[in-house]
Amino acid sequence: MFDAIFLDRDGTISHDPYGYINDVKDYHFFDFTFDALEKLSTLTNRFFIVTNQSGLATGKIKIENLENIHSFIISEFAKRKLPLKKIYYADNYDEGFHSLRKPGIGMFEKAKDEFGINLENSLMIGDSIVDIEAGERCKMKTIFLLTGMGNDYLDEVNKKCKPSFICDNLMQASEKLL
Ligand SMILES: [Mg+2]
């Protein structure tokens, strides 16, 4: 059992077509996402989504559009009774250790404070090196996925990080853990 499972958003649970999404119409879960999450929900009572959305700072993403997308995500999890506790997002380019923006650990510290999460007993899953770096900074278990930007980051992740597992996608990750 994990105290919590932290999920990156774009490239992890959903497609990442152009690096940012500014319209809920362009937001598409992978076809395996909810089957995988059903399996993962046998391992935890708490999911969190932690997502870098610096497009908010550059104006590529409007806050009301981000909120629409997140309402959609919350309702899709709720339909399936998946225990999504909160979506955290970073809206800037701050790169400090405690910054919200991954690899900063700010979003994880917020979850720890707001929900009493034991990060060392938790898992981070993502398709970018920053997901793995943030997870390692929090002493979490980490799974690096090759969906989204994963293939582009694979060499760098192998050089700089030690993910607990590297998997083709979220479904394979869920099967590996069970
Ligand atoms: Mg991603």
Q: What is the mean pLDDT of residues 90-108?
A: 96
pLDDT at 126: 98
- Centre of ligand 1 to C-alpha 114, Å, is 24
pTM (predicted TM-score): 0.98
Cα(144)–Cα(130) distance, integer angstroms: 10
- Centre of ligand 1 to C-alpha 15, Å, is 9
Residue 85 contacts by C-beta under 8 Å, 6 or more apart in sequence?
4, 46, 47, 48, 111, 115
- Centre of ligand 1 to C-alpha 178, Å, is 23
Q: Which domain holds residue 157?
A: 5-177
- Centre of ligand 1 to C-alpha 62, Å, is 19
pLDDT (tens digit, 9 = 90+) per residue, 119-145?
999 999 999 999 999 999 999 999 999
pLDDT at 86: 98
pLDDT at 114: 98
pLDDT (tens digit, 9 = 90+) per residue, 146-170?
999 999 999 999 999 999 999 999 9
pLDDT at 7: 98
- Mean pLDDT value across the chain: 97
Q: What is the mean pLDDT of residues 62-89?
A: 98
Q: Give the CATH number for residue 154.
A: 3.40.50.1000
- Centre of ligand 1 to C-alpha 116, Å, is 25
Dump the DSSP string for 48-115.
Answer: EEEEE-THHHHTSS-HHHHHHHHHHHHHHHHHTT--EEEEEEE-S---STT-SSTTS-HHHHHHHHHH
* Active-site annotation, residues: 8, 10
Asked whether the predicted pLDDT for residue 18 surpasses 90, the reply is no
Q: What is the mean pLDDT of residues 57-80?
A: 97
Q: Which residues of 46-75 are buried (b: 16+ CB within 10 A; e: fewer)?
A: bbbbbbbbbbbeeeebeeebbebbbeebee
Domain count, the chain: 1
